[in-house]
Amino acid sequence: MDIKKINFKEKKYVLPLLALPFLFLFAYIGSQFVKEETSEKDNRKELSLSLGETQDSIMTKNDAYDAFFKKEDNRTMLDGLDKEEDSLLNYDDQLSLSQKRKIDSLKAANGRQNQYEAKRDQSSYYKPNQSQRDDKDYKRSSEIIKMLNDKS
């Protein structure tokens, strides 16, 4: 057989030539799947001997707290607030007008109550009786002490 005698335009030669690139493509894709399956099986067979990252020293309570609440971005909720001025150098009344009125009325009512109590004490008629009552109690307690002493 001579190559010159072969007619490549015949159906029996054209169909295998057209199917050959597709056959190579399917073989390549199939080999990629086989490689992935073998690599996964190899990874599963290996045992992991490491226990993870550990720290050599025991952290103190404050260090553990700081590590737990550590912020990487250094943003806070107070970024938009202005710096606070010292209140000792600049004293300003923070009360509203209605609060000032309420405080003044409470002071006035307290002052009236104190004046009423002071007037009641000046005209009190209980003081003389109280001194007599104290004298009676003193006499009674001295009599009881004498009686106890005589018995012993």
Please enumerate in sequence order all residues whose Cβ is within 8 A of that of 8, keeping only pairs 6 or more positions apart, or say none.
Answer: 14, 17
User: Residue 103 falls within a domain, yes or no?
Assistant: no
User: Residue 106 falls within a domain, yes or no?
Assistant: no
Top pLDDT among 26 and 132 is at 26
* Domain extent at residue 27: 3-44
Which pLDDT band holds residue 27 (cuts at 50, 70, 90)?
Answer: very high
Dump pLDDT digits (tens) for 49-72: 777 776 667 888 898 888 888 767
User: Residue 60 falls within a domain, yes or no?
Assistant: no
User: Residue 148 falls within a domain, yes or no?
Assistant: no
User: Residue 21 falls within a domain, yes or no?
Assistant: yes
Q: Distance (Å, rounded) from C-alpha 65 to C-alpha 8?
A: 82
User: Residue 108 falls within a domain, yes or no?
Assistant: no
Which pLDDT band holds residue 28 (cuts at 50, 70, 90)?
Answer: very high
Number of domains forming the structure of the chain: 1
User: Residue 15 falls within a domain, yes or no?
Assistant: yes
Q: pTM for this structure?
A: 0.24
Which sign, positive or negative, has the C-alpha torsion 85, 87, 90, 95? positive
